[in-house]
């Protein structure tokens, strides 16, 4: 008996044209992933319409209601049906898909929303009567007159009622509402001059305002700074550096936080291209590379960066949700971000974030005063004679210690000092207290330097500070003399796939700067001829495979540089002032002056702060003197 091939069948598939409803539902699956996607599309339409005030109402995480109200230009009654047609848009004329200056341009959002939910659009153009149109599950009803003062109101109810399977993939109301809030915040940062309000009306009534940001005035940076303080937080605004640079037609601006203001996850990284919020791996990698030497692997920088360029230099039509972009020359954009951020961090010098001081003050706050109420009487036991004798001995004045930190008795860990001769000599030119880190006044626990400034005090971790200073010197020496390479007696041949070989050889010049020399060896093999001498004996093949893994995951590799700088960091740690060493006054002041002159000295090699600054007004509040 003959066995039929299961791949051969008498059935011949027939090619058929899908109806509009099916086409819209398929397209909606790409454009509208969740309620936050619908909010994004509707708010972007309002921004493109020239709105100055936008209000978003949601219920049940946007699953049952999304209503966007704006004061934009509106839609005329005769064009309302056209607005619900696929690929109908007022944003472009279709002649050039690269000349895109608006958020939307595909004409897919409204018909997609109407295909999977119950959509109502009410709009009024100045000088005309208001009108409304409804569509549910792709079925529209004729346009009707309506009452509206100005702008447009788009109401979307029962999202995905026409595609019940999608509802099973929705998360909890709380999670969906949080995603909507994040979307609104990103759009608020993109347009500081527009007022945005998000309100949760679950359960009916006026609801509660989840987020509100009124339109900011002033120049670009003032408005952006105020908006970032409102969206990300005032602490970010206080500890952010202004970023502005331009190269080869690409402009970068925004704010980036100090390394000591870092996060445990990449939740405070906001990137925009031509005003459009994006999540681009290349841009995120550039941000990470800029902070590479200032943060440990488990910490992430915080930044809001805007990349503006001619629309022809970037393609935004590579993802249905327009969340990814593709630059014509990604190297220019990446290099601009890294160099600008590193320059800004270097200019920040020894500055550390104010959150360090705030955390210190929070830890030092006294217990809250008791609430007013009936007086409470406490009965104290009379101390014994031995307790009184011990208390008197502890509070008795001590003999005046001799000058110099090395003369301290073993019973105490610090002393108060008068200005040293070195300080007095410098005071004739500039009072030392007027300098950023002030004048050293003492050392406690043989590790912390206490310095007095003009309006407060500074506590310095001597080991962490000196470790950073030595590390920066070692890096400078390495950059001037280069990384010494150790030639292998017998080059190691590593067999790779064709793709891995091409990817590795593409970054060969970059790797050679760090002492790793590789070259093609025929076919898909590479020959490793030199390795960084500072690393000692290394497994060349394992290193190559690690580099390839990093290239595949992040599009770049900093593994060799990371290993070299990790060794420099260890050398700096062992060569710096150790905890427990007593320092003379002139030594402490010399350390403070060197910190002021050295970039990045505000944090150690692991991103932790090297000093804490406390303002006198804050100290007085701690003691109730304000």
Q: Could you tell me if 512 and 535 lie in one domain?
A: yes
Q: How do 208-213 and 195-200 pair as beta strands?
A: antiparallel
81 token code pair: 């049906």
DSSP state of 253: E
pTM score above 0.85: no
- pLDDT-derived band at 425 (thresholds 50, 70, 90) equals very low
Q: Could you tell me if 207 and 226 lie in one domain?
A: no
Classify residue 603: in a domain, yes or no. no
- pLDDT-derived band at 161 (thresholds 50, 70, 90) equals confident
Classify residue 463: in a domain, yes or no. no
> pLDDT tens across 118-141, in order?
999 999 999 899 999 999 988 889
Q: Could you tell me if 489 and 566 lie in one domain?
A: yes
- pLDDT-derived band at 485 (thresholds 50, 70, 90) equals confident
Q: For residue 79, give the nearest of 65, 89, 64 by alpha carbon.
A: 89
pLDDT for 302:
92
Domain-ending residue, one of 553, 574, 595 = 574
For range 579-586, the mean pLDDT? 82
* Mean pLDDT rounded to a whole number for the chain: 80
pLDDT for 382:
47
Q: Is the pLDDT of residue 238 over 60?
A: yes
For range 589-612, the mean pLDDT? 82
Classify residue 412: in a domain, yes or no. no
For range 392-411, the mean pLDDT? 44
CATH number at residue 279: 3.30.230.10
Q: Could you tell me if 172 and 64 lie in one domain?
A: yes
Residue 180, SS3 per DSSP: helix
CATH number at residue 128: 3.30.565.10
Q: For residue 614, give the nearest of 365, 349, 264, 346 by alpha carbon.
A: 365
Domain-ending residue, one of 574, 594, 612 = 574
For range 44-56, the mean pLDDT? 93
CATH number at residue 518: 3.30.1370.100
Q: Could you tell me if 283 and 197 lie in one domain?
A: no
Classify residue 455: in a domain, yes or no. no
Domain-ending residue, one of 534, 551, 574 = 574
Classify residue 251: in a domain, yes or no. yes
- pLDDT-derived band at 208 (thresholds 50, 70, 90) equals very high
Q: Could you tell me if 29 and 151 lie in one domain?
A: yes
Lowest mean pLDDT among 4-13, 92-101, 196-205, 421-430: 421-430
> pLDDT tens across 440-451, in order?
888 888 889 999
Q: Could you tell me if 85 and 183 lie in one domain?
A: yes
Q: Could you tell me if 124 and 246 lie in one domain?
A: no
Q: Please, is 17 exposed, middle or buried when counting C-beta atoms within 10 Å of its C-beta (0-12, 13-18, 19+)?
A: exposed
Q: Could you tell me if 314 and 188 lie in one domain?
A: no
Q: Is the pLDDT of residue 147 over 70?
A: yes
Q: How far apart are CA 209 and CA 214, in angstroms?
A: 13
Q: Which of residues 69 and 362 earns the better pLDDT score?
A: 69
Classify residue 446: in a domain, yes or no. no
Classify residue 148: in a domain, yes or no. yes
Q: Could you tell me if 153 and 250 lie in one domain?
A: no
Q: Could you tell me if 168 and 231 lie in one domain?
A: no
pLDDT for 341:
93
- pLDDT-derived band at 201 (thresholds 50, 70, 90) equals very high
DSSP state of 259: T
For range 386-398, the mean pLDDT? 51
pLDDT for 480:
75
Number of domains in the chain: 3
Q: How far apart are CA 260 and CA 604, in angstroms?
A: 9
Range of the domain at 505: 468-574
Classify residue 418: in a domain, yes or no. no
495 token code pair: 């067999």
Q: Could you tell me if 236 and 255 lie in one domain?
A: yes
């Amino acid at each position: 008996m003959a066995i039929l091939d299961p791949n051969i069948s008498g059935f011949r598939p027939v090619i058929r044209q899908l109806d509009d409803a099916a086409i819209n539902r398929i397209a909606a699956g790409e454009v509208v992933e969740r309620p936050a996607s619908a909010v994004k599309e509707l708010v972007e339409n309002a921004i493109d319409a020239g709105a100055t005030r936008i209000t978003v109402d949601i219920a049940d995480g946007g699953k049952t209601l999304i209503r966007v109200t704006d004061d934009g230009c509106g839609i005329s009654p005769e064009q309302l049906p056209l607005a619900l047609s696929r690929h109908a848009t007022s944003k472009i004329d279709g002649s050039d898909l690269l000349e895109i200056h608006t958020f939307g341009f595909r004409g897919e959002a409204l018909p997609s929303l109407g295909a999977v939910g119950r959509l109502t659009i009410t709009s009024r153009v100045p000088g005309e009567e208001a009108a409304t149109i409804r569509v549910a599950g792709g079925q529209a009803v004729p346009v009707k007159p309506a009452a509206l003062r100005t702008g447009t109101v788009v109401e979307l109810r029962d999202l995905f009622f026409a595609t019940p399977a999608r509802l099973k993939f929705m998360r909890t109301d709380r999670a969906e509402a949080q995603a909507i809030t994040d979307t609104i915040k990103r759009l608020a940062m993109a347009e500081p001059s527009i007022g945005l309000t998000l309100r949760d009306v679950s359960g009916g009534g006026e609801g509660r305002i989840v987020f509100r940001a009124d339109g900011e005035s002033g120049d670009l940076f003032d408005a952006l700074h105020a908006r970032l303080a409102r969206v990300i937080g005032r602490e970010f605004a206080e500890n952010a550096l202004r970023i502005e640079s331009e190269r080869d037609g690409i402009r970068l601006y925004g704010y980036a936080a100090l390394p000591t203001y870092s996060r445990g996850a990449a939740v405070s990284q906001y990137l925009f291209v031509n005003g459009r919020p994006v999540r681009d791996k290349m841009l995120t990698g550039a941000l990470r590379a800029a902070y590479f030497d200032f943060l440990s692997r488990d910490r992430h920088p915080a930044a809001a960066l805007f990349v503006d360029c001619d629309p022809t230099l970037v393609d935004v039509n590579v993802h249905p949700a327009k969340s990814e972009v593709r630059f014509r020359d990604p190297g220019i954009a990446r290099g601009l971000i890294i160099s600008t951020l590193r320059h800004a961090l270097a200019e920040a010098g020894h500055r550390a974030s104010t959150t360090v001081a705030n955390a210190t003050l929070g830890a030092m706050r006294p217990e809250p005063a008791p609430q007013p109420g009936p007086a409470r009487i406490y009965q104290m036991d009379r101390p014994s004679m031995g307790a009184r004798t011990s208390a008197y001995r502890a509070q008795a004045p001590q003999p005046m210690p001799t000058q110099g930190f090395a003369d301290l008795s073993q019973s105490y860990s610090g002393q108060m000092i008068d200005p040293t001769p070195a300080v007095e000599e410098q005071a004739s030119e500039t009072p030392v207290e007027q300098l950023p880190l002030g004048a050293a006044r003492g050392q406690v626990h043989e590790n912390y330097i206490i310095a007095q400034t003009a309006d407060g005090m500074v506590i310095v971790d001597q080991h962490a500070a000196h470790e950073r200073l030595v590390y920066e010197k070692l890096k400078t020496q390495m950059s001037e003399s280069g990384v010494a390479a150790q030639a292998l007696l017998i080059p190691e041949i590593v067999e790779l796939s064709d793709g891995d070989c091409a990817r590795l050889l593409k970054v060969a010049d970059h790797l050679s700067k760090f002492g790793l020399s590789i070259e093609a060896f025929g076919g898909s093999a590479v020959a490793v001829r030199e390795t960084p001498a500072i690393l000692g004996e290394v497994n060349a093949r394992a290193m190559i495979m690690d580099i390839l893994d990093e290239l595949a995951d992040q599009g770049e590799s900093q593994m060799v540089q990371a290993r070299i700088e990790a060794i420099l960091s260890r050398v700096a740690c062992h060569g710096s002032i150790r905890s427990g060493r007593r320092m003379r006054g002139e030594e402490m002041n010399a350390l403070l002056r060197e910190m002021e002159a050295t970039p990045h000295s505000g944090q150690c090699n692991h991103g932790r702060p090297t000093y804490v600054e406390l303002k006198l007004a804050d100290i007085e509040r701690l003691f109730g003197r304000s």
